[in-house]
Amino acid sequence: MKLKLVGCSHHTTRIEIREQLAFSPEQIPMALSALRSSFPKTEAVLLSTCNRVELYTAAESDLEAPSDEQVIEFLADFHGLRAHQIVDDLFLRQRGDALRHLFRVAASLDSMVMGEAQILSQVKEAYRVANDGDYTGPLTHAAFQGAMRVARRVATETAIHQRRVSIPSVAVADFASQIFERFDDKEVLVIGAGEMGRETLTYLVEEGVRHVTIINRNQERAETLAEEFNGSTAPWGDLPKHLAKADMVISTTGSKEPIITLDDYQRIESERFQRTLFVLDLAVPRDFDPKIGHCLGVYLYSIDDLKKACESNRQQREKEWPKAQRIIDVETDRFLKQWNHRVTGPTIRQLQATTEKLKSDELQRLMNKLSEVDDNTEKEIRMSFDRLVNKLLHSPLESLRDEAEKGTPHGLLDALKKLFQLRD
């Protein structure tokens, strides 16, 4: 199975590096197209979220697929970086390890908040984008559809997703609630109109928030979100004015550069009269210059600041972890066996067809030479030929099936193709 993964995540890679490697929704099709231009026979799916960037590639043979080094070069070049700047922050997975990792990601076992629901929709979206652009193929189809099946099993057969806890809910419950005693009198400013902002608003409204302003470059999307939460909208150009009035800010844009620099904030700082400002910067790259967090009265939290609270969440769900992991191990083993049998199936059928043709030809030649053979004798002759062919094929086919079960059929498969001169 020629499945490979090169990526980074919040587990091992600092946010500064993830920011540089992150892909916006508009960049993902561009990146997949560029990869296809260099490697025409390679399948690919690119997953880019706040916490991870993962590029899955697959091909029929290693010669048709990019090497790990070439994928690293590709990621670096796309973002205007040098490979040596990022190589130590990336992890590499191949074959079964890559598949098992994908299953863990989709099932939310690899998330910052174990059991959060958003990652599965992000995996589905990454697969949809790749599929719409025709960058997928048999192996990525099977792998990502398998990942969705695994995620459903984990959700229904374990308690990991009960009382779902996401990054926004942790931010509200463990951070905002420590700063504010009440929320009904707070002015909330949401910058961006994506799913993360929507989910955060859902929890804030449950806490009593009533005054919400949405600012987004796409006014139509801002109005849709504002209508859902009985809020109002403002033009992008009015962002400084509303930042001066806000008590809480949730920022989730896809900007590649900070939308609020230290200078921007200092220009409106005097208008705030040292009122407390809670900023939840959920964007990667970050929307707010981290230096703003040192200003008087400002509590600025980024994705990485949520790790401690998320770790507590993980510990609460640890008792469900073994059950979920067993599901992933079983599904991974089953997938690999089925895929290897799928790989060996055409060769087995072709070998059987070839030997059947040889047997039929030799039987016909023999029958033409023999005169007046009675039906019983002819039947015995045919049965003898069948037994001989079956015995000759039994050992190589049994060995091939055994190798397929172990996940290592390719060496024997190639040998059989050469020995019997079978076509690919």
Query: Which positions are catalytic?
Result: 50
CB crowding 172-194: b at 16 or more within 10 Å, else e: bebbbeeebeebeebbbbbbbbb
Distance CA 152, CA 417 (A): 39
Tokens of 195: 């799913």
- Nearest residue to 278 (alpha-carbon basis) of 262, 260, 256, 302: 302
Provide the H-helix boundaries in 50-90: 68-78, 83-86
> DSSP assignment, residue 408?
-
Are 123 and 147 in contact by the 8 Å Cβ rule? The answer is: yes
H or E segment to which residue 393 belongs: helix 375-406
Distance CA 200, CA 170 (A): 9
DSSP string, 225-253: HHHHTT-EE--GGGHHHHHHH-SEEEE--
**CB-based contacts of 271: which residues, under 8 Å, 6+ apart?**
244
